[in-house]
Amino acid sequence: MKKTILTIGLITSSLMVNSQIVIKESAKDSVVWYSKLTGLPKLVNFYSSEESNYTLYYKNAQYQHITDIKYLSLGERETAKEFFSIVKNVIETGEKISIEMDGKLIIISKSFNTAYVYEKSSSFMISNKQIENILKSI
């Protein structure tokens, strides 16, 4: 019995340690890449042989007790890299920037050592470390 409990505990702890492993799932004609157990915001790359699209999913920070998952379509790889470079620059300089993406006006400002990204009906925060990890993986 002790061996069974120890084995289950070892497997569970090893899964939690390797939570940054990238998982690949195939669905019909596209493949989704994501980081396991990292929470939100989360960058997802949907791609097929014809196209590739990056989408950023985030929890709307305007609600404390309701889970409202929103997304921002970032388009191709270069556009996604450019967006995260702009957000990183805002954190470094403290300058407030307004950009238009996916038909939405997005305002990015610095809040402590994170970027506060908001639009008309939703907002989220992203840290410099999260941005660096995203830029490395794209």
Domain boundaries, the chain: 22-137
How does strand 97-101 pair with strand 52-59? unpaired
Task: With beta carbons less than 8 A apart as the criterion, state whether 130 and 118 touch.
Answer: no
In this prediction, residue 97 carries a pLDDT of: 93
Digitized pLDDT (tens) for each residue of the chain, 138 residues in all: 555 554 554 454 444 443 444 444 444 444 454 443 356 677 877 777 777 888 888 888 877 777 788 888 888 889 989 999 999 999 999 999 999 987 889 999 998 889 999 988 888 888 888 888 888 877
Q: For 68, which DSSP code? A: -
In this prediction, residue 4 carries a pLDDT of: 56
How does strand 104-111 pair with strand 42-47? unpaired
